[in-house]
Amino acid sequence: MLPDLTWQLPADERQYKSLQDWIQLAQAAEYAGLHAVHLSAGLPGAEPLVLASALCGQTSRLAFLTSIPPDVIQPAALVNAIQSLQSISKGRVRLHLPDADQGVARRRFGDWLNRDQRLERIGEYLNILRQLLWQPESLPLRFSGRYFQLENAGHACRPVAPPECYLDASQSPALVATYADVVIVELVDTRALAQDMHRLRALAAGQGRRLRFACRIDVLARASAALAWEEAEARLERIPPGRRRQLQPVSCTRLPCRQPGNDVHRYDIHPDIWQPCTEQPPVIVGDYQRVAARLNGLRELGVDSFILGAEDALGDILLFGEEVLPRLGELSVYREGESRHA
């Protein structure tokens, strides 16, 4: 069985300016066999809930992972919007509440709380969402907290299937274990990733809950490893030195060094996994089989799903569906066969 595969819609206002551009990407993702697209809070000129409502009418099965910063919308208002979108899309909404410390421009929306206060507030926020979305028997809701005061909340809620809740692993472990269905993890080191997932699973199991994990990672898949790494090297040259990740050089074992001191492989964080910029996700670089094998290897660590991305969104979505996805499917079938005979 394939892992759940989500494609990150690119935040590039130079290429994607109109609704038709977003529709084309969503339809390509559905055609390629992906399960969902991620509508992040940073998409230029495209509020995630509004964009998802437009795209659901142009697709039939594609799910929409919508990132909604809790600091920009009241919880009861978010519940109404999510319920409406769930009804319109026939249950294709997934809800991501991003960590306010991880790239969300909080102060632009008038949020000046410190870290401890934000953790306390997100706890209240999640508590309200759980009662309004996942525990309708508690309605109408009266809630009295430090940050939110609700009277007769949820009176307009309908019996609509609640969305899965995605939280970032960088958020409070206690909140993640209590409220998340899926935890978004970042790949820095495979050993650390496995340890973090094990720790969070244990916390959730103590509450009788089971967590799933989604890894955010980009792909650069080409017909040969040489072509993929040549493109990676070209991308590296376009990145200003001040934005590059500062790492110690390592010996190049895959391609001859074209320029001393500009070895593309010194930005490797794992074999075939490359990260020249810390503000961007790591990239799996290689031929189609190698990219599929690396994704399958992350599954063996305990990753359940992937949030994928690429520089050429439309072209790489279709290439991934045509070349990588079938190979990943073969590896998944083989892996399941081994598990049954173990």
Q: What are the extents of the domains in the chain?
A: 218-302+311-342
* Per-residue pLDDT tens digits for 259-313: 434 489 999 999 999 999 988 899 999 999 999 999 999 999 999 999 999 988 8
CA–CA–CA angle 21, 23, 25 (5° rounding): 75
| pLDDT at residue 151 is higher than 70 | yes
pLDDT band at 99 (very low <50, low <70, confident <90, very high): confident
* Per-residue pLDDT tens digits for 204-237: 999 999 999 999 999 999 999 999 999 999 999 9
Compute the average pLDDT of residues 239-260.
59
Compute the average pLDDT of residues 178-187.
95
Q: Are 78 and 125 in contact (CB under 8 A)?
A: no
Nearest residue to 30 (alpha-carbon basis) of 49, 48, 5: 5
pLDDT, greater one: 164 or 118: 164
pLDDT band at 138 (very low <50, low <70, confident <90, very high): low
pLDDT band at 19 (very low <50, low <70, confident <90, very high): confident
Please give the mean pLDDT across all residues of the chain: 85
Highest mean pLDDT among 105-114, 130-139, 210-219: 210-219
What is the phi/psi pair of residue 306, to 5°? -135, 140
Query: What SS3 class is residue 285?
Result: strand
Give the strand pairing for 305-309 and 212-222: parallel
Q: Which residues pair with 8 in a beta bridge?
A: 38
How much is the pLDDT for 303? 96
Compute the average pLDDT of residues 73-93.
91
Q: Dihedral of CA 253/254/257/262: which sign?
A: negative
- 86 Cβ contact list (under 8 Å, min separation 6): 92, 93, 160, 161, 162, 163
How much is the pLDDT for 112? 67
Count the residues in the chain: 342
Cα 295 to Cα 36, 299, 310: the distances in Å are: 17, 6, 15
| pLDDT at residue 195 is higher than 60 | yes
Q: What is the pTM of this model?
A: 0.88
Q: How far is CA 92 from the centre of its chain?
A: 16
How much is the pLDDT for 101? 59
Nearest residue to 199 (alpha-carbon basis) of 213, 214, 216: 213
Give the strand pairing for 149-153 and 164-168: unpaired
Query: What SS3 class is residue 340?
Result: helix
Compute the average pLDDT of residues 192-210.
95
Identify the H or E element spanning 165.
strand 164-168
Least reliable range by pLDDT among 76-85, 88-97, 239-248: 239-248
Looking at residue 290, its amino acid is R
Cα 169 to Cα 114, 129, 145, 175: the distances in Å are: 19, 19, 25, 10
Compute the average pLDDT of residues 121-125.
90
pLDDT, greater one: 198 or 109: 198
Q: Which residues pair with 184 in a beta bridge?
A: 168, 214
Cα 70 to Cα 109, 129, 192, 310: the distances in Å are: 11, 11, 28, 27
What DSSP letter does each residue of 77-137 carry, written as one string? Answer: HHHHHHHHHHHHHTS-EEEEE--TTSS--GGGGT----HHHHHHHHHHHHHHHIIIII-GG
How much is the pLDDT for 159? 77
Query: How many C-beta atoms surround the C-beta of residue 205 within 10 A?
Result: 12
CA–CA–CA angle 73, 83, 305 (5° rounding): 85
How much is the pLDDT for 334? 53
How much is the pLDDT for 250? 45
- Rg of the chain taking only CA atoms, in angstroms: 21
Query: What SS3 class is residue 338?
Result: helix
Least reliable range by pLDDT among 179-183, 217-221, 333-337: 333-337
What is the phi/psi pair of residue 285, to 5°? -115, 130
How much is the pLDDT for 249? 46
| pLDDT at residue 81 is higher than 80 | yes
How much is the pLDDT for 256? 40
How much is the pLDDT for 248? 53
